Structure 1
Amino acid sequence: MISLYPTAARSEVPQKAASLSTQIDQLIQAAQKREGVISAPRSTDAEFMRRVSLDLTGKIPPVSELRTFIADPSPQKREQLVDRLLASPGFVVHFTNVWRDMLLPELTTSLQARGQIPEFEAWLRLQFQANVPYDELARQVISTSQGANSQRQPGEVAQELTPRAYYLVKQLKPESLAAGTSRAFLGVRIECAQCHDHPFDSWKQQQFWEYAAFFSNIVQAGSNQVAAELPLMELGRPLQIKIPDTNRLVDATFLDGKKPDWEPEATSPRIRLAEWITAKDNPYFAKATANRVWSLFFGRGIVDPVDDFSSTNPATHPQLLELMANSLSANDFNLKYLIREIVNSQTYQFTSRQTDPSQIRVEWYGKMPTRGLTAEQIFANLVQATGFFRQTTDADPFLFSQATNSPESEIGDLFQKDAENQLDPRATILQALALMNGEFMVNATSLEQSDVFTAIVEFPQLTIADKIEAFYLCTLSRFPTESETKRLSEYISSAETEDERTHAYSNLFWALLNSSEFLLNH
């Protein structure tokens, strides 16, 4: 029956938009269903805490915090842990290291470039402490011009901190700055067109040099100071550059073919370049940033390698990349926002143990991939697990990290940061052997040198099983299995004297610290 009376309008309750982490999972699950991938179970609490602590702070969690987290019955404890880690000093230190290596890849090959580390690291730390929006951070790097020129001792951090090291380690070369800027902030390798038109992509040689022209006017002010301490300045001349081996002069031009619009007396051309790179309508910046952040947690980008966006290297999950880029832009390029959403996703929280053959295809994220650690992470884990070096590292992190004979530099030499992606484990056989037999590893597992080892072995109320458990928790961030406890208890109990028993515990500690489970993130 049709009523002639007006009906009351149905009140519609506005639907709350799904969180980004939920949308990430929906897109990944749809891809897995399409590809026939069966996802792994959820990680254990211990597995998750170790993983997220390594990813957000660069080191394994303290045993006391691990025990508290495992015992916590709250269903929100993982989200709460993520929030605590994002607000911790460890996050600032770790992401300073990550972005330093990304922006200054020359550090792995140039001893001269390493002299720029203290000021650049100090500047980066300030940005991460203040949670500066990433587009603003990028603009500061690209447009930096002035540096502190006050008198100071070599190696001392400048009072006026700037990111000028980005320019100095590239020796102010326009071609190096063009290549580095496009890779770091746009995710494209335009240097392939430096000598000739790119054979497989659309980049032309003229485009490369037109882009490089933005950096053609940068010099250092003259002074009697050390060159690395001099401020940068721009010459007031037309932004042009000569293409090598030709007679052609080209003008500064954005990669989209548009000419910059600025008044030379009022604005630096690199400020215009920085604004163009970070503009919300730039098709590359937000995607390149989201892709790079994703790669930090999964060992590979949605476009992989992360700095090779091209027509011949398509994204494995284009909708997901678009979603994260748009969300990052809508949230004012807040890196912590994107990081929080990624690590709170089910996709990030899968176990790394393979439970189905389909999970071997890493691009579909059926399980959490096992990833290599950086030199800084390995060193920080050794400090956390053993208590060795702790007094030294707390004294002066800048000077200690750069000392050529320091344990950290020794580990850095073993585990160079030159892997294209984290799915290539950095602990090769030779590296592992060198780590096992290094003097610092012997000291770190000795009763005289290691605070942690001494505390466990000499604690009278602990049984053999308790001590085995303590060694597992402080190294692998998990409880030993029943079979591990049984086997190791028999081994420890077989010692006939107190010295032999101490040596047996030392062997256990040494084996755990040199295990792949300790040297990898999983």
Structure 2
Amino acid sequence: NNFKLSLRGFAPEQDYDRLIVESFGRRMNHAAPELSLVLAKATARIPHRGGELFSKDSRAYRLLVTWIQAGTPNVRAGEPTLSNLEILGGGRKMSAGQEQQLLVRATFSDGNVRDVTWLTKFFSNDASVLGVTEGARVKALREGASTVRAHFLDRVAVAAFTVPHHRAVDPAAYARRQNVLDGPVFEKLAELRIPPSADCSDEEFLRRAFIDTIGTVPTAAEAAAILDDRAADKRAKLVDGLFGRPEFVDYWAQLLGDLLQNRKERDHDVRGAKGVRNFNQWLREQVAANRPWNELAREVLTATGDTSKSPQIGHFVVTVGENRDAPKSDVVASVAQSFLGTRILCAKCHNHPDEKYTQDDYYHFAAFFSAVSMERHKPEKAATSLQVMTQREQDERKRAADLEKQIAQQEISLKDKVGDEQKKLQKLIDDKRKEMEGCRKRADDIRKAPVKVSQPRTGIALVPQPLDRSTVELAPGEDPRKALVDWMTSPTNEYFSGSIVNRLWKHFMGIGLVDPVDDLRSSNPPTNAALWKTLNQEFVSSGFNLRHVMKLILNSRAYQLSSATRPENENDRRFVSHYAAKRISAEVLLDAISQATGVPDAFPGYPVGIRAIQLPDPAVESHFLKLFGQSDRVTACACERHGDVTLPQLLHLQNGQGVVEKITSTDGRLARLMKDTADDGKLIETLFLTTLARRPREAELKTVQRLLADGDRTETLRDLFWALLNS
């Protein structure tokens, strides 16, 4: 019958109307409260699809009866609001099978503190580790670590639990540390009694560091030189050298392009390929200069001007799009997700189901973009520009400018008029001048007025306010985005610093400390709180230096663990007991195949030899890139680029015509090696170094040599090359 209530009671005024007024008030029986339809259905006395919500002898039933007996009073204005929610009974170690009772305490704005456990909804963040009942009883199901969420009204509280394994591990396994990141990593493993894997080999580290840092595999010569280096610090030297490579700029400019959605618009594009390439070039310059992340964010988020002189406004071009009212566009949620790692889009329509963010919070945040006004033009006519003024102010100033042009033209015509015609035209000019002055005055008044955004459900005008509900001071006419960036880039704002270090951790380690990486919230805490704190402190104290964090990760023992597991840690996916193997991204894999075979891919509209990691725009014709998960950059979601392994991918690599043609090309690497290298042993070694960045094992070398002796040389070497490329 279309009866519905708001999610977690976020719209009490609507809920009251539906319960009490809608359908002629049939859901309530004030004369006989216990016969009310709302109670009959909730206790399943009358069948309905929702089933039984509570029993007749429950506390909830008694409370509702009392409310109906009192005449179903509405919420009164000025009633205390919820200011804090906490869980008592969490933060402890448990054994599998052990239980723990929780208590939830709510603090209200008038200072009143109440036990609201019975009114709270509970959820486990990992139901395989922890179970939780409606009665707030937690049970440890297996070894691991997880959290329980408690939801009451618009607040969420979290309680953490650790369930260590019952086994003895030699403390020496956790003792060796290579930098500050290893302390919290191995302390967490020790707490859980999960032993780490052995260190990775030089061959593994070489290939891993090249791919993760510069999106490029080493050449045979580079691999041989590094493997033959006997210096104790050769890994650290390798890391330092990678930051100076041109491929580092190529690769990280592309990754930042993903984050900032640098692409041509699908419909009515106003930047063209040139605009996308200009923004990519701007990003390359920031990466090359090692621009601090807080400064880069400020440049993007407070950008003004046009696409030719300020290419970084491209972020606003695609996220504001054709929407004349920026606070109603995608830019609000995109900025929160890209720069704060926070998903607030659902709060545009209703309160966030898993976090404290309300619909009011969303529109307070949206108000920071109320002075963003886009002047869109087709790229062949003029450059699209971003101005700091509300749409209303822009409309008034545009009307004033049009009137000024009309007045100038009519004043020229006035000279040729006489008598009544002259008087008539003069009056028209005077009227237009008066209207023009009125437009300018209204525009000035709009600029001086506090910027606000109307909350669509309540109609209340909301001022700019950060997501932590702190207050900001704005001078008349000031760009609200500046205050937003001041708050965002504060050294104490862990959402800003944590968002990017979490992305870096996932990039190098395979999984974020918070997963998904763009879903930071109190109800989704990091798997290692101490490591989270260390990463944030290092990043902020370094001056928001991205390379500093990258270098720390690369030089850590945690990063240099083997991906080979042992029985005691093979099920660990969250606590870094071993390196998490991951599929190479689309562009990196295509470049690796092209580099190994010596046959570059051709991309329409780009010069011959351009690498996939250098492509500024995902709108390029390439079946390979699309098949292997290239980001379309349509949304701010990190899920735009996926690392899944699929059957079509395997079939393409093993049977695809493109790979076969590269292997068999008469201009390719294999053909040249076969022509120039008489020593088959040397040729085999070169192929291994080229593809796997290691030399063949003795058994591998003997096997290939035997196959060469028994078969056709060309076909055998092609088969070997194919096998190595698919390893």
Which band: TM-score by shorter chain? 0.7 to 0.9
Letter in 1 for 2:625: G
SS of alignment partner, residue 430 of structure 1: helix
Change in CA separation of 1:40 and 1:421 when aligned onto 2, cut-off 3 Å: farther
1:133 aligns with 2:292: yes
Alpha-carbon distance, 1:96 to partner: 0.9
Segment of structure 1 superposing worse, 341-350 or 115-124: 115-124
Q: Deviations over 1:294-315 (max 9, x none)?
A: 1111111111111111222111
Change in CA separation of 1:487 and 1:108 when aligned onto 2, cut-off 3 Å: farther
Aligned residue in 2 for 1:230: 384
Taking the aligned partners of 1:108 and 1:510, their CA distance within structure 2 comes to 39
Structure 2 unpaired stretches of 5+: 1-175, 394-445, 632-636
Aligned residue in 1 for 2:676: 459
Change in CA separation of 1:434 and 1:395 when aligned onto 2, cut-off 3 Å: closer
Taking the aligned partners of 1:399 and 1:111, their CA distance within structure 2 comes to 25
Aligned residue in 1 for 2:629: 416
1:430 aligns with 2:579: no
Alpha-carbon distance, 1:487 to partner: 2.5
Taking the aligned partners of 1:453 and 1:114, their CA distance within structure 2 comes to 40
Change in CA separation of 1:287 and 1:21 when aligned onto 2, cut-off 3 Å: farther
User: How many equivalent residue pairs?
Assistant: 478
Alpha-carbon distance, 1:125 to partner: 0.3
Aligned residue in 1 for 2:569: 358
Alignment of 1:319-358 (within 5 A): 319-358=530-569
Change in CA separation of 1:257 and 1:422 when aligned onto 2, cut-off 3 Å: closer
Alpha-carbon distance, 1:232 to partner: 0.8
Taking the aligned partners of 2:193 and 2:180, their CA distance within structure 1 comes to 20
Alpha-carbon distance, 1:201 to partner: 1.2
- TM-score (norm. length: structure 1): 0.84
Alignment of 1:115-126 (within 5 A): 115=273, 117-126=276-285
Alignment of 1:17-36 (within 5 A): 22-36=179-193
Letter in 2 for 1:64: A
- TM-score (norm. length: structure 2): 0.61
Aligned residue in 2 for 1:511: 723
Alpha-carbon distance, 1:101 to partner: 1.0
2:343 to 189, 211, 216: 189
Letter in 2 for 1:130: A
Alpha-carbon distance, 1:460 to partner: 3.6
Taking the aligned partners of 1:509 and 1:289, their CA distance within structure 2 comes to 39
Change in CA separation of 1:349 and 1:108 when aligned onto 2, cut-off 3 Å: farther
Alignment of 1:50-89 (within 5 A): 50-89=207-246
Taking the aligned partners of 1:369 and 1:397, their CA distance within structure 2 comes to 25
Taking the aligned partners of 2:676 and 2:360, their CA distance within structure 1 comes to 71
Larger Rg, first or second structure (1 or 2)? 2
Q: Deviations over 1:80-109 (max 9, x none)?
A: 110110121111111111111122187899
1:203 to 352, 357, 365: 357
**Contact persistence 1:299–1:423 (CA under 8 A):** no
Alignment of 1:113-512 (within 5 A): 115=273, 117-148=276-307, 158=308, 160-172=309-321, 173-174=326-327, 175-221=329-375, 225-226=379-380, 229-235=383-389, 236=393, 237=446, 238-244=450-456, 246-265=458-477, 267-389=478-600, 393-394=608-609, 409-417=622-630, 425-450=643-668, 452-463=669-680, 465-495=681-711, 500-512=712-724
**Contact persistence 1:278–1:285 (CA under 8 A):** yes
Change in CA separation of 1:339 and 1:405 when aligned onto 2, cut-off 3 Å: closer
**Contact persistence 1:38–1:356 (CA under 8 A):** no
Alpha-carbon distance, 1:429 to partner: 1.0
Segment of structure 1 superposing worse, 423-432 or 63-72: 423-432
Structure (1 or 2) with the greater helix fraction: 1
Taking the aligned partners of 2:202 and 2:480, their CA distance within structure 1 comes to 51
2:247 to 90, 96, 99: 90
**Contact persistence 2:371–2:479 (CA under 8 A):** no
**Contact persistence 1:167–1:177 (CA under 8 A):** yes
Letter in 2 for 1:411: F
Taking the aligned partners of 2:678 and 2:481, their CA distance within structure 1 comes to 65
Taking the aligned partners of 1:396 and 1:370, their CA distance within structure 2 comes to 24
Considering only aligned residues, what root-mean-square deviation do their CA atoms show, in Å?
2.9
**Contact persistence 1:178–1:211 (CA under 8 A):** yes
Change in CA separation of 1:403 and 1:361 when aligned onto 2, cut-off 3 Å: closer
Structure (1 or 2) with the greater strand fraction: 2
SS of alignment partner, residue 350 of structure 1: coil
Alpha-carbon distance, 1:420 to partner: 5.6
Taking the aligned partners of 1:274 and 1:401, their CA distance within structure 2 comes to 26
Q: Deviations over 1:291-341 (max 9, x none)?
A: 121111111111111111122211111111111101111110111111111
Taking the aligned partners of 2:312 and 2:674, their CA distance within structure 1 comes to 47
Alpha-carbon distance, 1:369 to partner: 0.7
**Contact persistence 1:146–1:233 (CA under 8 A):** yes
Aligned residue in 2 for 1:154: none
Change in CA separation of 1:114 and 1:225 when aligned onto 2, cut-off 3 Å: closer
Q: Deviations over 1:471-504 (max 9, x none)?
A: 1111111222233223222223222xxxx42122
SS of alignment partner, residue 232 of structure 1: strand
Change in CA separation of 1:460 and 1:60 when aligned onto 2, cut-off 3 Å: closer
Identity over aligned residues, as a percent? 28
Alpha-carbon distance, 1:393 to partner: 4.5
Aligned residue in 1 for 2:162: none
SS of alignment partner, residue 558 of structure 2: coil
Aligned residue in 1 for 2:120: none
Taking the aligned partners of 1:398 and 1:378, their CA distance within structure 2 comes to 10
Alpha-carbon distance, 1:424 to partner: 7.2
Taking the aligned partners of 1:37 and 1:446, their CA distance within structure 2 comes to 47
Structure 1 unpaired stretches of 5+: 1-18, 149-157, 516-522
**Contact persistence 1:168–1:228 (CA under 8 A):** no
Taking the aligned partners of 1:423 and 1:439, their CA distance within structure 2 comes to 25
